[in-house]
Amino acid sequence: MNQTSAARPLVSFDGVSKHYGSVVAVHTMNLEIYEGEFLALMGPSGCGKTTSLRMLAGLEEPSEGEIRLDGQRINEISSIERDTPMVWQSLALFPFLSVQKNVEFGLKMRAIAVEERRQRARKWLERMEILELAERDISQLSGGQRQRVALARSLVTEPRILLLDEPLTALDANLVVRMQGVLARLQKELGITFVYVTHSQSEAFAMSDRVVIMSQGRIEQIGSPKAIYRSPASRFVADFVGANNILSGSITETGEDLKISTAVGEFHCEKNSDRDFNTGDTLDLVISADLVQISMEGPEVQNSLRCRFISEEFVGSIVTIFAELEDGSDFKVQARQRDLANMALEEGAAFFASWNAADAHLIGGNGA
């Protein structure tokens, strides 16, 4: 879904907090989730993303604030009455029931007639391309097949919203990519709102329309995957998302470009916000590793620094180079393997990293 101003909120978190004694798991959350969108909640362990999902599912009650579904307050409504099914990380399938009976279960709880629930379950098994497994026991299925059964069981009731709590965690890497495609296709075909909790950037960015980044129970940033990746709103987001280099410094000159003095040199950056910048302001210069060029000799450009090669990580055609700057801090570069083929990058070797002034992003100093 391409989010527009005309999109209608299906879910609203209005000043929602969750306390466990003196521990605050979620701090005053204000969030609207739009009808028909794929929204990902992402952050490190303990950031509050799963607690937020459980409050929406009715498995936890907010300590403060109000959650509304289609305009109706649902704080006191039980999870069964909310019609907000969840696909769990553990999948929570019934091992004593067949695939068919697992998918029928939600319909049975709604007192749907036997033949109708049988037909609806088989339709969803066929849609998930596992109809031939209908009579098998859950123990006889692969991880990917179990994942499809869990999805069919949740979607057979035709809900308006589906909640997913890290559902791909237990799958092998190749199955994760395949199931990402299945989920994204299903969501677009059905037009159902998906709310997806994950700690994985690749999952969130591959499937979602918007991403909510959380830290210590608070929302740090909400935006499209591209906006968050290229324009992190805080130092936390810049550290958490992508492969970013962060140079802290202060402004020494203002004009069309800013000149910023850091511990490893002076650099130029285009103004990329409406904020007023003044000489002496402290800020962080964020340079994404994939926007950095490298050379063995110092290039004649404004933004260049000397690095010492430490190691590299090879993933397919992309290589991530880990380097050390003159002050001992880390610096990362991502490049194509073929572009590095003629470079003598060995441990301890010196090279130069450079980037365009337009490719750096500014955020307030000290994580502001």
Residue 204 lies in a domain: yes
58: left (phi over 0), alpha (psi -120 to 50) or beta: left
Two tokens, residue 367 = 């994580």
Please indicate, yes or no, whether residues 257 and 189 belong to a single structural domain of this protein: no
pLDDT tens for the chain, residues 1 to 368: 545 445 789 999 999 999 999 999 999 999 999 999 999 999 999 999 999 999 999 999 999 999 999 999 999 999 888 889 888 877 788 888 899 999 999 888 889 999 999 999 999 999 888 999 999 999 898 888 888 898 899 999 889 999 999 888 877 777 888 888 888 988 999 899 999 999 889 899 999 999 999 999 999 999 999 999 999 999 999 999 988 999 999 999 988 889 999 999 999 998 876 678 889 999 999 999 999 999 888 777 889 999 999 998 987 788 999 999 999 999 999 998 888 877 878 888 899 999 999 999 999 854 34
d(CA 99, CA 146): 9
pLDDT, position 5: 44
Residue 314 lies in a domain: yes
User: Domain range for residue 254?
Assistant: 243-367
Residue 238 lies in a domain: no
pLDDT, position 1: 54
Please indicate, yes or no, whether residues 47 and 167 belong to a single structural domain of this protein: yes
Residue 4 lies in a domain: no
Please indicate, yes or no, whether residues 256 and 190 belong to a single structural domain of this protein: no
Please indicate, yes or no, whether residues 142 and 282 belong to a single structural domain of this protein: no
Residue 2 lies in a domain: no
Strand partners of residue 260: 251, 267
Residue 1 lies in a domain: no
What angle, 0 to 180 degrees and rounded to 10, lies between the N-to-C axes of helices 143-155 and 99-109? 20
CA nearest 75: which of 90, 87, 84, 65? Answer: 65
Please indicate, yes or no, whether residues 220 and 151 belong to a single structural domain of this protein: yes
Q: Which residue has the tokens 């069919």?
A: 152
- Where among 230, 258, 290 does a domain terminate? 230
Two tokens, residue 101 = 């009976």
pLDDT, position 325: 95
d(CA 300, CA 108): 72
Total structural domains within the chain: 2
pLDDT, position 170: 72
Please indicate, yes or no, whether residues 223 and 258 belong to a single structural domain of this protein: no
For 4-34, give the DSSP string. Answer: -TTPPEEEEEEEEEEEETTEEEEEEEEEEEE
Two tokens, residue 28 = 């005053």
CATH of the domain at 327: 2.40.50.100
Please indicate, yes or no, whether residues 85 and 215 belong to a single structural domain of this protein: yes
50: left (phi over 0), alpha (psi -120 to 50) or beta: alpha
- Where among 204, 230, 256 does a domain terminate? 230
Please indicate, yes or no, whether residues 148 and 203 belong to a single structural domain of this protein: yes
Question: Is 205 within 8 Å of 211 (Cβ atoms)?
Answer: yes
CATH of the domain at 33: 3.40.50.300
Residue 118 lies in a domain: yes
d(CA 276, CA 285): 16
- Where among 230, 256, 284 does a domain terminate? 230
Please indicate, yes or no, whether residues 211 and 107 belong to a single structural domain of this protein: yes
Q: Which residues contact 89 (CB under 8 A, 6 or more apart)?
A: 165, 166, 167, 169, 170
